[in-house]
């Protein structure tokens, strides 16, 4: 959860980097800025502009050249149609703005701004000249100390992911969320995650300025290291955005390397910002001897390193490259809402949805072959939810004592009734200092002792599927350990690559005798599915395809599953295909 490593000034003039001949659209703000309403009863309306009111979109455009540049063309678009054109004048290494008035409506529209749309300026990077935001996106506020901005910008540029500045890289992070959200397809979220994000402001402050306000004046004190306050709580008094994050100068050397993978998929920023949207770490539902206190005699067996891993793995587990199913559903339960009780990591309403349970939950216990465990005694052990010393590797630690909370007997179908909330007498906790979302089941199946786990996330999902009175949940004793989602391996194209050949070679790591499905979406269209037959050997498969030009988002899914674990889902990757170089004039 929370990053445990350790008024504002807009970029109106200088944040010097090595001089480049480069224009970039740093961010698009929406004015007037409106505070979210604390504990609003109607956050899909309150905190948003009034329908029919005038808002102004403000493009903040950077010129990194050492000489002034005058008469640079620009074009605003709405849903791809040009609505305003003009020119801008830049001083050396400057930031200037261009405005677009617009009548507010809640329907989603794409607001685009392109600098040098006539493509007359020779630049070191062309892929940062156009920025498209969603009109009803949630706002992200970034606070960065000056030395961080100047130190990391050239390093980001050297990674070859189409960025020149820190601003560009932040835009890539937010676009990554929007792309993985749009493609978070599960039975419960057939249209993906509904919300989109937008960088509303990048504030540069002097070194040592963060946090700008005493964080615990508003934020919950969960024991974070004060050295991390500038990161977690850069400005708790800024209620104009729905998420905020800080980049203190002393964290500029955090990065071990500046590779496309690390910069785009192998960092947790989107994960951390999702905490500000009240999302919880699903890895808190994993049980292991190293992180938890399972004081049972006899104790359940350990497979590899763990007693149990939740199947809800992805963005809020340890693969930050795709939105896991649980998070996708939870995000859609708050679609369109402004922040309610904090826009930092962590807000007061973190995990507000964790106690959504049916009035009665009926659990069917099955063996590994799917047969029900009939007429058998079941001892149910639940976590005490006591505080643990999370700073010594016991974060989210659950404590189980040797006294069962319930003694039950399965019926002729292998079912037990466990009530509304078998996990606690009160609420479910998912804090680093205490957690209680798992129950351990000890089952006496004839002469065989079996173990199983109740996972409160599965109870939430059943409730959200509409089983609000009686929910049926299947639980497998001795279930296989769910693995983290597919990691980077030898994938290609690399994240944020520029591919200029008509044929694109998609490379994915495959395991012998397992089929895969490769998906790609071109320019936001519905994804195309490509079946990858099973191979005779574990290898890197090369699949040549000819996708359209433009923005290509792609991922792959292992073609088999081991219930209750779903098929493994790779990170969602993206690259730019056949972007013309040199640029040629366009019509808008």
Are 275 and 287 within one domain? no
> By residue range, what is the domain housing residue 69?
9-279
Q: Answer whether residue 339 is part of any domain.
A: no
Question: Angle CA(110)–CA(116)–CA(120) in degrees, nearest 5?
Answer: 150
Are 72 and 13 within one domain? yes
The enclosing domain of 550 has a CATH number of: 2.60.40
Q: Answer whether residue 315 is part of any domain.
A: no
Q: Answer whether residue 341 is part of any domain.
A: no
Q: Retrieve residue 88's tokens.
A: 């801008």
Q: Answer whether residue 370 is part of any domain.
A: yes
| Pick from 71, 3, 59: nearest CA to 27 | 59
Are 258 and 404 within one domain? no
Are 143 and 27 within one domain? yes
Q: Answer whether residue 269 is part of any domain.
A: yes
DSSP line for 4-39: -----EE-SS----S--S-EEEEEEEEES--PPPTT
Are 378 and 411 within one domain? yes
Are 530 and 381 within one domain? no
- Residue entry with tokens 């794409």: 110
Among 443, 476, 509, residue at a domain's last position = 476
Are 236 and 87 within one domain? yes
Tell me how far apart the 2 most distant CA atoms of the chain are, in Å: 85
- Identify whether the C-beta of residue 317 lies closer than 8 Å to the C-beta of residue 485: yes
Region for residue 307 given its phi and psi (left: phi exceeds 0; alpha: psi -120 to 50; beta: otherwise): alpha
Are 176 and 294 within one domain? no
Beta-strand runs (E) in 153-241: 197-205
* Residues in CB range of 408: below 8 A, 6 or more apart: 377, 378, 380, 416, 417, 418
State the burial class of residue 92 (Cβ atoms within 10 Å of its Cβ: 0-12, 13-18, 19+).
middle
Q: Answer whether residue 314 is part of any domain.
A: no
Q: Answer whether residue 334 is part of any domain.
A: no
Whether the bond between 493 and the residue before it is cis, its omega within 30 degrees of 0, is yes
Are 514 and 443 within one domain? no
The enclosing domain of 361 has a CATH number of: 2.60.40.10
Are 293 and 181 within one domain? no
C-alpha separations of 553 from 146, 176, 524 in Å: 33, 10, 8
Among 279, 312, 342, residue at a domain's last position = 279
SS3 243: strand
Per-residue pLDDT of the chain (588 residues; tens, 9 = 90+): 443 332 232 333 334 444 689 999 999 999 999 999 999 999 999 999 999 999 999 999 999 999 999 999 999 999 999 999 999 999 999 999 999 999 999 999 999 999 999 999 999 999 999 999 999 999 999 999 999 999 999 999 999 999 999 999 999 999 999 999 999 999 999 999 999 999 999 999 999 999 999 988 888 777 778 889 999 999 999 999 999 999 999 999 877 788 999 999 989 999 999 999 999 999 999 999 999 999 999 999 999 889 999 999 999 999 999 999 999 999 999 999 999 999 999 999 999 999 999 999 999 999 999 999 999 999 999 999 999 988 777 889 999 999 999 999 999 999 999 999 999 999 999 999 999 999 999 999 999 999 999 999 999 999 999 999 999 999 999 999 998 766 667 899 999 999 999 999 999 999 999 999 999 999 999 999 999 999 999 999 999 999 999 999 999 999 888 888 999 999 999 999 985 555 444 443
Q: What is the pTM of this model?
A: 0.94
Are 20 and 83 within one domain? yes
Are 21 and 128 within one domain? yes
- How many Å apart are CA 292 and CA 383, to the nearest integer? 10
Domain total in the chain: 3
- How many Å apart are CA 210 and CA 230, to the nearest integer? 5
The dihedrals phi and psi of 105, each to the nearest 5 degrees, come to -145, 155
- How many Å apart are CA 477 and CA 450, to the nearest integer? 6
Q: Answer whether residue 333 is part of any domain.
A: no
* Residues in CB range of 407: below 8 A, 6 or more apart: 377, 378, 379, 380
């Amino acid at each position: 959860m929370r990053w445990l490593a350790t008024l504002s000034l807009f970029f109106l003039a200088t944040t010097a980097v090595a001089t480049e001949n480069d224009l970039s659209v740093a961010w698009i703000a929406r004015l007037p800025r409106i505070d979210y309403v604390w504990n609003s009863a109607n956050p899909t309306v309150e905190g948003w502009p009034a329908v029919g009111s005038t808002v102004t979109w403000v493009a903040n455009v950077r010129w990194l050249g050492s000489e002034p540049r005058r008469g640079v063309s620009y074009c605003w678009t709405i849903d791809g149609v040009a609505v305003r054109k003009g020119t801008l004048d830049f001083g050396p290494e400057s930031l200037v703005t261009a405005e677009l008035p617009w009548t507010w409506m809640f329907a989603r529209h794409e607001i685009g701004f392109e600098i040098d749309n006539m493509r007359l300026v020779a630049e070191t990077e062309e892929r940062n000249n156009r920025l498209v935001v969603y009109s009803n996106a949630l706002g992200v506020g970034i606070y960065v100390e000056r030395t961080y901005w100047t130190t990391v910008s050239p390093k980001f540029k050297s990674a070859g992911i189409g960025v020149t500045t820190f601003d560009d890289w932040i835009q890539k992070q937010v676009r990554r969320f929007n792309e993985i959200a749009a493609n978070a397809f599960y039975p419960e979220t057939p249209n993906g995650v509904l919300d989109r994000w937008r960088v509303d402001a990048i504030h540069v402050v002097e070194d040592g300025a963060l946090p700008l306000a005493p964080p615990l004046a508003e934020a919950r004190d969960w024991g974070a290291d004060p050295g991390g306050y500038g990161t977690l709580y850069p400005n708790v008094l800024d209620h104009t955005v729905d998420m905020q994050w800080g980049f203190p100068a002393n964290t500029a050397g955090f990065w071990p390397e500046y590779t496309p993978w690390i910069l785009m998929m192998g960092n947790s920023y989107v994960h951390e910002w999702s905490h500000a949207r009240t999302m919880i770490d699903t890895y808190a539902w994993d049980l292991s001897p190293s992180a938890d206190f399972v004081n049972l005699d006899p104790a359940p067996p350990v497979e590899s390193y763990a007693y149990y891993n939740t199947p809800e793995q992805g963005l809020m587990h340890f693969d930050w490259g795709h939105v896991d199913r649980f998070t996708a559903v939870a995000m859609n339960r708050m679609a369109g809402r402004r922040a309610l009780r904090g826009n930092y990591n962590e807000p007061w309403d973190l995990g507000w949805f964790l106690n959504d349970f049916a009035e009665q939950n009926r659990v069917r216990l099955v063996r590994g072959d799917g047969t029900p465990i009939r007429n058998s005694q079941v001892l149910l052990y639940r976590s005490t939810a006591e505080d643990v010393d999370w700073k010594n590797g016991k974060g989210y630690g659950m404590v189980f004592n040797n006294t069962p909370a319930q003694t039950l007997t399965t019926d002729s179908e292998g079912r037990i009734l466990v009530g509304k909330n078998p996990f606690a007498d009160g609420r479910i906790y998912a804090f680093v200092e205490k957690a209680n979302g798992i129950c351990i089941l000890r089952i006496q199946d004839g002469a065989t002792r079996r173990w199983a786990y109740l996972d409160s996330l599965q109870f939430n999902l059943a409730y959200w599927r509409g089983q609000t009175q009686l929910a049926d949940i299947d639980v497998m004793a001795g279930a296989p350990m769910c693995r983290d989602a597919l990691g980077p391996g030898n994938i290609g194209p690399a994240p944020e690559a520029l591919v200029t050949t008509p044929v694109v070679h998609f490379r994915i790591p495959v395991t012998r005798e397992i089929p895969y499905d490769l998906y790609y979406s071109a320019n936001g269209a519905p994804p195309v599915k490509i079946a990858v037959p099973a191979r005779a050997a574990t290898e890197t498969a090369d699949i040549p395809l000819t996708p359209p030009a433009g923005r290509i988002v792609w991922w792959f899914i292992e073609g088999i599953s081991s219930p209750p674990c779903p098929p493994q889902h790779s990170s969602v990757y993206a690259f730019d295909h056949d972007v013309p170089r040199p640029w040629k004039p366009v019509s808008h």
